[in-house]
Structure 1
Amino acid sequence: MKTDGESPVFVEREFSCAGQLMLVRFYQPVQMPTAEYKCEYEILWPDRTRRRHSFGVDSIQALTLAMGIVHVELTASDYYKDGQLTYFDSVDLGLPPLGEAR
């Protein structure tokens, strides 16, 4: 897996999106000077890349919140609504919904 300038890619998942490979990457959570943890994530859509982050009181909360946010972003997309975004040919994307990530 690749690394960015700050933290390495921790985990990633491949999806099928409109017949193309689409990646979601979660970077290793890092502790901030203020004691909370930050987890960056990246969605590599077929037509754009979106990189954001979440914060948590520990690294697990930061990662699970990032996964929940990605779940919301993916399922709110037109690709998903049109049935063009799948994981192993299933609409179950295998990510925790945001409510379960708290």
Structure 2
Amino acid sequence: MELDVQSCISELEKLKEEALKGYNDIKDHDNDSCIGRFLQLLLLDGCVVVEFIRECCAMCPAEEDEIINISSYIYQIFGDFLLLENLLPFFVLNQLHDMTK
């Protein structure tokens, strides 16, 4: 599978109904624009979390550069991850991780 933004959004589209169940404040489930922004948000936030975990656990291939400077920001990032409004469904993170292995 080619990994680009559109293919990632397409994969998240398959999970949208289940993901939407966790967000009571999204009222316009039938609006394509609203759902598109929701999927983009899941992708962006999810990729940050997946990359953070990969770098923390040294799971990145040696030829890849670090994207997140973990040593400088680890406590700020951990604090941000603990905020309720920043929680993502685990199955979304799992899908993104599987797609980027």
Instruction: Please tell me the TM-score bracket, short chain as reference.
Output: 0.3 to 0.5
TM-score when normalising by structure 2: 0.33
Greater relative contact order, per chain length (Cα 8 Å cut-off, separation 6+) = 2
Q: Larger strand proportion, structure 1 or 2?
A: 1
Q: Whose Rg is larger?
A: 2
Q: Larger helix proportion, structure 1 or 2?
A: 2
